Amino acid sequence: MQNRTCILGNRGYDDDADEEKDSFARVRVPWTEVYPVFCNLDIANMDFEDFAETEEDVDEDGCFPYVSSSSELDDRTRKRKDELLEQLKQDGSL
């Protein structure tokens, strides 16, 4: 929270064994963009790889570089995001 980011984890899956792995791929998302990332993942119209440069090396914390999608927000989503950010600020979380 100190650097105003959220780490998003994606649990790996072993297709051969048909089971989840114990490892996670991670990407550090700015607080201001967490809501649209959550929404897109929740409705499954985007995947983890759409937000993370998984072809790049991870940083010192083990996170892949983040790919922003905030420029693609519609007005309604942007307004809701701003409302939630303001609520987090008022709660002292941001």
Q: Is the pLDDT of residue 78 over 80?
A: no
Task: Give the model's pLDDT for residue 13.
Answer: 78
Which residues are within 8 A (CB) of 85 and not within 5 positions of it... i.e. 6 or more apart?
A: 31, 32, 35, 94
Contact predicate 36/77, CB 8 Å: yes
Task: Give the model's pLDDT for residue 72.
Answer: 65
Q: Is the pLDDT of residue 26 over 60?
A: yes
How far apart (Å, rounded) are the C-alpha atoms in residues 55 and 26?
13
Angle at 82 between CA 73 and CA 42, to 5 degrees: 55
How far apart (Å, rounded) are the C-alpha atoms in residues 32 and 75?
15
- Structural domain for 58, as ranges: 5-90
Who has greater pLDDT, 19 or 25? 25
For residue 39, which amino acid is it? C
Calculate mean pLDDT across residues 69-89: 78
Question: What's the structural domain count of the chain?
Answer: 1
- Residue 8: closest CA among 71, 50, 60, 55: 50
pLDDT per residue as tens digits for the range 27-57: 989 888 888 888 888 898 888 888 888 888 8
